[in-house]
């Protein structure tokens, strides 16, 4: 069955897959996630599907690659597929010139171990700026590993620093099959998706017609599965997909989660840049007396942040732009902060960064997602999520443990002066933000970055 969602539908009407709460595990650190991922790969029996924005050519990335190839040597019949964004894989890091990207590493491994692992690039759009593969959820046998983390040193805490995220494991054959079937049918079998490990990869120009067809298909399709009735000892899981403005089931569900909140609403996002429709619904929730908690990353906890002492690039202004958004929001909603309905928690921990996303509603619904809850995620990238419906509170202890873990490095914002103001920013940042504001380019930037 393909789930559908009209504008005013109830969350309860979404079809669900039954989840045993004993087979639902929450990991609380990037290091724990890295160790568990490597452990599951080593133990895999039939299939491994790794889905990520990127798998980096660094120590952590190579440790995962080594684990995949070792598992294949141990069990030659093991099916191993790695899907990453087509564009991201073929460029270097921001600021690197003439870099071959992570695809060079994929070609190296293919040359050493030919035919062992399928390394595929998915082009959601003809240019990275206009949409990327932001799909989450890797599958090892019948376990779904759901995290917003990509695979590199900082996401997996391979060195001294980490990027905080959420890490969930769901042992669920029906859910795993639904996610694998979607990847097989609409990504792997698509003409636009091709190997990144071949010595002569196809050019994006050659793939343009196929990319257009793929995007149309992805805007239309959802996970297919047979829904189940839940017993009192089970939790419901609804897998969701979204791409583009129209027929976007994930966006509609996110909006409905905020609309349906009656008592409590918690939202996590690393970059405070909510779509206007979502921002309006948050304000409506406050007006009807819902206690709203926002957990956002401090500008210094952004992956775009650079120390003011270092050479300035335009991309380094983004965290300051997000802080300006937060400043304006605090000013607009000050009365709700004063009366205790709204709490804004800003995450910062040494030189680490923040990449946590998700929504919790009324101690019943939890959304696991890689969606940044910003206009880019709303309109351009291929996103997904898992909506957990827990009417009997079977996951409350795990839910609270995860939330408390996220909150432990946050501080409360009581008023705008608790945040840095524009006149306190480094001079290059101040000049740039004033310039783009004068020509109203900030509106465009907020839509695509």
Query: Of 53, 180, 63, 222, which is closest to residue 128 (Cα–Cα)?
Result: 53
Q: What are the catalytic residues?
A: 134, 165, 355, 383
Rounded CA-CA distance 34/159 in Å is: 12
Rounded CA-CA distance 249/158 in Å is: 36
Angle at 432 between CA 427 and CA 433, to 5 degrees: 100
Confirm if 256 and 13 have CB atoms less than 8 A apart.
Answer: no
Residue 394 structure tokens: 């079977």
Alpha carbons within 13 angstroms on the beta-carbon side of residue 41 total 24
How many other C-beta atoms lie within 10 A of the C-beta of residue 355? 27
| C-alpha dihedral (78, 83, 84, 87), degrees to nearest 10 | 130
- Helix H, strand E, coil C: the string for 185-210 is HHHHCCCCCEECCCCCCCCHHHHHHH
Rounded CA-CA distance 241/134 in Å is: 11
Distant-in-sequence, close-in-space partners of 408: CB < 8 Å, separation ≥ 6: none
φ and ψ of 196, to 5 deg: -100, -5
Alpha helices in 297-333 (DSSP H): 318-332
Rounded CA-CA distance 305/292 in Å is: 27
b/e map 279-302, b = 16+ CB within 10 Å: bebbbebbeeebbbbbbbbbbbbb
Angle at 179 between CA 173 and CA 180, to 5 degrees: 85
Strands 383-389, 235-242: pairing kind: antiparallel
């Amino acid at each position: 069955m393909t789930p559908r969602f009209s504008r005013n539908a109830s969350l309860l009407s979404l079809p669900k897959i039954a989840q045993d709460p004993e087979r639902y595990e929450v990991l609380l650190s990037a290091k724990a996630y890295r160790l568990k991922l490597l452990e599951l790969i080593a133990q895999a029996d039939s299939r491994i599907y790794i889905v990520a924005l990127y798998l980096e050519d660094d120590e952590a990335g190579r440790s995962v690659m080594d684990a995949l190839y070792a598992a294949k040597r141990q069990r030659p019949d093991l099916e191993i597929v790695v899907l990453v964004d087509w564009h991201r894989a073929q460029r270097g890091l921001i600021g690197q010139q003439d870099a071959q990207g992570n695809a060079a590493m994929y070609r190296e491994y293919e040359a050493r171990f030919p035919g062992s692992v399928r390394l595929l690039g998915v082009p959601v759009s003809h240019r990275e700026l206009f949409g990327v593969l932001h799909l989450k959820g890797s599958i090892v046998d019948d376990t779904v590993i759901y995290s917003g983390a990509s695979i590199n040193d900082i996401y997996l805490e391979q060195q001294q620093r980490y990027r905080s995220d959420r890490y969930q494991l769901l042992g669920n054959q029906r859910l795993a099959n639904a996610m694998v079937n979607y990847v097989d049918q609409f990504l792997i079998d698509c003409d636009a998706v091709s190997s990144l490990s071949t010595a002569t990869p196809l050019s994006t120009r050659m793939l343009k017609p196929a990319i257009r067809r793929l995007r149309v298909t992805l805007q239309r399709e959802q996970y297919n599965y047979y829904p189940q009735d839940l017993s009192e000892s089970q939790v419901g899981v609804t897998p969701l997909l979204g791409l583009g403005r129209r027929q976007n089931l994930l966006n509609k569900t996110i909006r409905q989660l905020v609309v349906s909140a009656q008592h409590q609403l918690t939202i996590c996002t690393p970059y405070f840049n909510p779509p206007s429709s979502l921002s309006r619904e948050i304000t409506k929730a406050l007006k009807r007396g819902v206690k709203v908690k926002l957990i956002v990353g401090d500008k210094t906890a952004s992956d775009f942040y650079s120390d003011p002492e270092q050479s300035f690039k335009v991309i380094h202004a983004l965290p300051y732009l997000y802080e300006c958004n937060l400043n304006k929001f605090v000013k607009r909603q000050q009365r709700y902060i004063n009366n205790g309905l709204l709490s804004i928690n800003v995450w910062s921990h040494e030189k680490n960064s923040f990449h946590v996303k998700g929504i919790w509603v009324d101690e019943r619904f939890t959304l696991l997602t890689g969606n940044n809850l910003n206009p880019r995620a709303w309109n351009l990238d291929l996103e997904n999520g898992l909506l957990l419906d827990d009417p009997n509170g079977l996951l409350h202890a795990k839910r609270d443990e995860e939330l408390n873990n996220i909150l432990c490095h946050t501080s409360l914002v009581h008023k705008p002066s608790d945040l840095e103001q524009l006149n306190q920013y480094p001079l290059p940042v101040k000049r740039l933000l004033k310039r783009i504001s004068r020509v109203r380019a900030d509106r465009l930037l907020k839509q695509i970055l």
